[in-house]
Copies of this chain bind each other. A is one copy, B any other.
Amino acid sequence: MNWLIVDEIIKKALLEDMPFGDVTTELLIDNDKISSVDLVQKEDGVVCGTEVFKRVFDKNGRSVEVYFKVEDGEFVKAGTVIGRVEGKSSELLSGERTALNLLQRMSGIATLTRLFCDKLSGTETKLLNTRKTTPGLRLLEKYATKVGGAVNHRYCLSDGILIKDNHIKAVGSIEKAVRKARRNMPFIRMIEVETETLDDVGEALNYGADIIMLDNMDVKTIKKALKIIDKKALTEVSGNVTLSNIRDIAETGVDYISTGYITHSFTSLDISMKNFKYIDDK
């Protein structure tokens, strides 16, 4: 994880939530004693974002320590106390929402991703994340999908060549696009081509695509495509992947299945801070 970026995200988030302070805490907490709260997970799910959670409190002052009893990637049952947060009451209370907003989202993504990955168990197929992430939070969301079991697709537009339908229309044909890309591209890259028909698949294969994306095809067509490709390129299925159909798709033997669902349509995992109490600090 690139912590320089994470720290920027956290700083922005704290400023967004406190552009001019925490009015309630400033009115109520004048004798700033050390207190502690428990961090309670209220739903079954995969914890993710523990280090990020800690760093929110680092940025929000210097007094708060967080003690986690779990690690990123652990599956935890509802009702479990997963950690304890301890420090000056004012820092603890004003940082709570920002820290939870991040932890809940990351855990929500990891939990949903785990569900998808569990469907793939026993197959060779791997789950891929996408660029359909929340603007500004991609680093954290890609990380959460990895914690949940997914593998990274390209991170962004800068690091992977993916020739999509609109690119193909812009250039004229799959053939022209692949050739043009091949000519000047960095040698460390592979060329992936999005295909919508079996003809596309054939053309992409012929002109040397390294990876062929089978977009929005049904299982039957996927099978035919894989037969055409015959392991001569890596394969990725994309489009309309759900918890109900992912197993069937995987059993075709495709190398990768990608879904934006795990980052654009997850729900936050319910985690909260409970049992506030003061600590005697001599």
Could you tell me which A residues sit within 8 Å of B by CB distance? 1-5, 9-25, 27-29, 35, 37, 59-61, 89, 93-94, 96-98, 101-102, 104-105, 108, 126, 128, 131-139, 142, 146, 151-167, 169-171, 177, 180-181, 183-190, 192, 211, 234, 236, 255-256, 260, 264-265, 267-268, 273, 276-278
Contact = CB atoms under 8 A, between A and B. Distances in A.
B93 A167 contact: yes
Can you list the 10 inter-chain pairs with the closest CB atoms, starting with the nearest?
A: A13-B135, A265-B267, A19-B19, A159-B159, A264-B268, A22-B157, A166-B276, A152-B186, A136-B136, A20-B158
B161 A20 contact: no
Contact of A22 (B28, B133, B158): B158
Contact of A93 (B19, B29, B166): B166
A164 B22 CA distance: 13
Which of A60, A132, A265: most chain B CB closer than 10 A?
A265
A154 B186 contact: yes
Residue of A13, A142, A162 contacting most chain B CB atoms (<10 Å): A13
Contacts of A138: 16-17, 20
A268 B19 contact: no
Given A1-B21, A169-B277, 19 more contacts: A4-B11, A5-B15, A20-B139, A20-B155, A20-B156, A21-B158, A24-B162, A28-B181, A29-B171, A101-B131, A101-B132, A105-B134, A134-B134, A136-B136, A160-B188, A170-B276, A170-B278, A189-B190, A267-B267
Contact of A21 (B20, B157, B211): B157
Contact of A153 (B108, B151, B186, B255): B186
A14 B135 CA distance: 8
A138 to B, nearest CB: 5
Contacts of A59: 4
Given A3-B61, A23-B161, A156 B14 contact: no
Nearest to A98: B135
Contacts of A18: 2, 4, 156-158
Identify the interface centre among A5, A29, A260: most chain B CB within 10 Å of its CB.
A5
B35 A187 contact: no
A16 B135 contact: yes
Nearest to A29: B170
B187 A153 contact: yes
23 contacts: A2-B20, A2-B22, A4-B11, A4-B60, A5-B19, A17-B157, A20-B158, A23-B185, A27-B180, A27-B184, A93-B167, A102-B135, A104-B132, A104-B264, A126-B187, A136-B137, A151-B186, A155-B158, A160-B188, A169-B276, A187-B236, A265-B268, A267-B267
